Amino acid sequence: MHSRMTFRNAGAFLLFLFVLVPVFGGRVAGLMDSRSQKQNIDEYIVLLRENIRQQRPQITGAVMQLTPEESKKFWPIYDEFLASLNKINDSRIQNLKTYAANYGQMTDEKTDYVMKQELSLRKQREDLLAQFYERFKPLGSETAARFMLIESQIEHIADLQLDSLLPTGQAGQ
């Protein structure tokens, strides 16, 4: 039990170290000058995505602790997963940018359409994770479970970062 708690704490620490510290550790401060809010949001999204895309394999590799033999099988499948995930996440970002750019000006029908798209894209992402969990199971259920849990944690962090940029109050506030 203790080793599982240590693994989980180590995973959370690595996520914090590799994802949150670089994002919030001063690099964002440079975006907070007199430029427009839209430009800041666009640059912040790019920064977050680059940060996560660049560091995701390192985080995953550090937490997975694969043997050389497991690595030969794991990484080609993982690369396929990332390619598919990036397509879904690119669509999510475009969809959410549409929402943010038109916030307070959309009809109920348009708002409903954009939010249904968001829900559909989130479901596609969850389905992709389930599909690749099954693809990793031949490497062992524990390996597949670590993959799924690590990726889920990374996506939660990415979601929080992205969602924090979205307007949620009354239009014009």
Tens digit of pLDDT for each residue in 103-144?
Answer: 999 999 999 999 999 999 999 999 999 999 999 999 999 999
More confident residue, 42 or 93: 93
For the ranges 2-11, 37-46, 76-85, 118-127, the lowest mean pLDDT is seen at: 2-11
Q: What is the mean pLDDT of the chain?
A: 77
Please state the domain count of the chain: 1
Residue 116 lies in a domain: yes
Residue 170 lies in a domain: no
Residue 172 lies in a domain: no
| Range(s) of the domain holding residue 54 | 2-163
Residue 80 lies in a domain: yes
Q: Would you say residue 28 has pLDDT above 50?
A: no
**Stretch 64-91: mean pLDDT, rounded?**
94
Quick one: CA dihedral 139, 142, 145, 151, positive or negative?
A: negative
144: left (phi over 0), alpha (psi -120 to 50) or beta: alpha
Residue 169 lies in a domain: no
Residue 143 lies in a domain: yes
Whole-number pLDDT of residue 46 = 60
Q: In degrees, to the nearest 5, what angle opens at C-alpha 24 toward C-alphas 18 and 26?
A: 110
